[in-house]
Structure 1
Amino acid sequence: MGGGAPQGGGPGAASGHPGLTPSLPPPQPGPATGPPGRGAGDGAGQRAGAGPVPDPHGPPRPRHQPLLLPGLLSPPPVFQDNNVLASLPLQYSQQQYQRQDLELVVALSVTLGLFAVELAGFLSGVSMFNNTQSLLSLAAHCSASICLSFFILERWESATYWYILAFCSALPAAFEILLFVSVFGFKRKPL
């Protein structure tokens, strides 16, 4: 064959011009198995009387899961800048920015400390089976997740975070501390 002959089912082969013969049969309808050139109709990936040969690399696996991990582990201060800027006037100094930034960092640190108190109470068994603490903690943390979503997405002022902290973190932690005192101080059952 000449160098100018179209390969496969090109435009010359489909029109039926004399002297132009395709080297491959036209593709058959059906799912392709494998890389280009090894489709279902070219005969290169099939055995007589058998279905398509499986891909040697195995079935496709999801590869996006490792990419989700950094998003889950990214700390909240990534979004901190927007909330600090929302707390400042249009014309502000570097000192004002640093003061607002420090205030938000302190609030986030207090939140982590209160969460550690709740976690310690739960893991020690003090509040693990206490229905009141469970309901209070569940309601507080569900409302906190909603409020923090709005806090980040709507760029609320950083002072608003203190209200979220008071109602959604400090309240369950204070009840947890009362349970600690009740169980370890007065030797009462955790229930």
Structure 2
Amino acid sequence: MVTASLPEARFALVRDRVMEGVAELLTAGVDLTFAQVAKAAGVPERTVYRHFPTREALLAEVFAWANRRIGFDGQLPATGAAAGALVRRVFPGFDAIAPVIRELLVAPGGRLARLSDKAERQRAFTGVVKHEAPGLGRHAERHVAAALQLLTAAATWQALRDYWDMDGMEAAEAAALAIELLLEGARARTARRAPRSRPGAARARKT
């Protein structure tokens, strides 16, 4: 078992304290300035700057911290069932840190953090569609993959929370059902596209 050195442990502890301070400020609706973050975390302001030189760097770490808090380990789904399982795992977690998630959705730095793995997400969700509905066609495949990715996103959790008063559990069930129906439709479309042999042609081949 590898044990972290004292400097490494202290470094991690300070960063965790800063993240907790950020969460406290966002929950209270306080403007996210470095001075306020330092005060909430109980550390000197220069310490916050040493760890996070810019607001963008701070929000990038908030994004990573939030993923850890909701139990997302970075493993993107490879199947439709895995996509449904993902929303059932993370949407309830969003409720616990709702102010942090909202900030990541609206802040420019949060957008940059969310887009940092854009290409990886595109590949993953395109792979899900290829797995679930092979032969769908390039354009339809792209559109279904985009809709599928959106259904697993925090923006969907937020919309269901705002417009339908759903908590994370109910939002997860709604999103998981939508994922299931979306992929069922994609598979049905693929089946309709599959070539079918004519009965007469089949008889001709037998003779």
TM-score (norm 1): 0.30
Relative to its length, the structure with more helix (as a share) is 2
Structure with the greater alpha carbon radius of gyration: 1
